[in-house]
Amino acid sequence: MTEAPLRIASLGTSSIAARRTIPAISAAPDAVLVAVAGRDRDRVAQYAENVGAEALVGYESVLARDDIDAVYVPLPNALHHHWIEACLESGKHVLAEKPLTTSAGATAALVDLAAARGLVLQENFAFLRHGQHRTVRALVNEGRIGELRHFHSEFCFPPLAADDVRYRADLGGGALLDVGVYTVRAAQYFLGDALTVAGAVLDTDSTTGVDLAGSALLVSDDGVIANLSFGFRHAYGSRYGLWGSGARLTLDRAFTPAPEARPVIRIEEQDHIEETLLAAEHQFANAVAAFVAAVRAAESGNPAPDRPGDAASTVRTAELIEQIAQHARRVRTPVSV
């Protein structure tokens, strides 16, 4: 007997969601986008028509619906905590865009609430679902680059439109919460959660108070150094590298590979360069599939391990982001975006 598809509603009308995660939900064989909720009647009606779902006015309209099993939350960062909590309280599983919330305490509280209610709460770091990272980690663990000494990661892109929500401090904007979180989570993926913040700098807009760029220095419990850079003031870059005692491994387009792109792992030794071409993968489709599988496992009473997005790593990411913000030296940019 074929199981009915997981019925999902989107809480919000994000343009990025419409380009990435919502198409993946719509294309999933075991999920269906039932509805989209928004505050503006005309906007949500047009958005819902474009994605082939029912339009609901008001986020709270999702909560009482018995025909909705799970909610996807692509709202501005500062709204995550309230609405994720409301969804969990109403008995719905949640797939939420990163960061889960804007504070470590709020993140831990949501993780605890989901666990207490037997619900799935997944932070949508889609990049973790791409197989290229498992291949890289296997090569490092096998000793292909020798003993790991240094990790570096960058995720940057050019300035956004002046009215972009990521320039709104009151809505949880800023480069650290938007792209810095990727570099932190990548460091956790390879170095573990036992990381310490050794230093940081945040380039902060003097008018809005929003950080536009930054760097952080972390160290693992076994002494591996991690250099992280992120921002909205650069030429595009999305990559990481692992430097060992015998070789250096780099991966470009690490966080945002196109579904049809075939990643290239580059290993450089003193007198040799080796490149390995991997298979293309759709990381957003993989993320939706992982969410559906986690929900089915939870509903069966036999939840499966979910290492890339587990609760401990989710909370630790929030703690590290908070520590970076607290300890950063702030450089003030004189001209507002």
Segment 155-185, tens digit of pLDDT: 999 999 999 999 999 999 999 999 999 999 9
Mean pLDDT over each residue of the chain, to the nearest integer: 94
Mean pLDDT of 102-109: 98
**Max CA pair span of the chain:** 64
Q: What integer pLDDT is reported at residue 308 of this predicted model?
A: 55
pLDDT score of 335 more than 90? no
Could you report the per-residue pLDDT of 193-231, keeping only the tens digit for each?
999 999 999 999 988 899 999 999 999 999 999 999 999
Inter-residue contact 320 to 177 (CB < 8 Å): no
pLDDT score of 265 more than 60? yes
Inter-residue contact 149 to 220 (CB < 8 Å): no
Which are the catalytic amino acids? 98
Structure tokens at 22: 């919502």
Could you report the per-residue pLDDT of 224-264, keeping only the tens digit for each?
999 999 999 999 999 999 999 999 999 999 999 999 999 99
Beta bridge partners of 243: 150, 248
pLDDT score of 336 more than 60? no
67/60 Cα distance (integer angstroms): 14
With b for 16 or more beta-carbon neighbours within 10 A and e for fewer, the 118-150 pattern comes to: ebbbbbbbbbbbbebbebbeebbeeebbeebee
User: Residue 330, Cβ neighbours under 10 Å: how many?
Assistant: 15
Mean pLDDT of 288-316: 84
Domains and CATH numbers, the chain: 6-124 (3.40.50.720), 130-283+319-332 (3.30.360.10)
Inter-residue contact 210 to 182 (CB < 8 Å): no
Terminal-residue alpha carbon distance, the chain: 56
Q: Is 160 helix (H, G, I), strand (E, B) or coil?
A: coil
**Confidence class of residue 310 from pLDDT cuts 50, 70 and 90?**
confident
Mean pLDDT of 284-290: 97
Structure tokens at 156: 């940057």
**Confidence class of residue 304 from pLDDT cuts 50, 70 and 90?**
low
State what percent of residues in the chain have pLDDT above 70.
96
Could you report the per-residue pLDDT of 36-93, keeping only the tens digit for each?
999 999 999 999 999 999 999 999 999 989 999 999 999 999 999 999 999 999 999 9
CA 14 to chain centre: 15
Q: What integer pLDDT is reported at residue 332 of this predicted model?
A: 84
**Confidence class of residue 3 from pLDDT cuts 50, 70 and 90?**
confident
Structure tokens at 24: 């993946």
pLDDT score of 17 more than 80? yes
24/281 Cα distance (integer angstroms): 12
Mean pLDDT is lowest, of 2-16, 105-119, 277-291, for 2-16
Inter-axis angle of helices 311-327 and 181-191, nearest 10: 120
**Confidence class of residue 306 from pLDDT cuts 50, 70 and 90?**
low
pTM of the model: 0.95
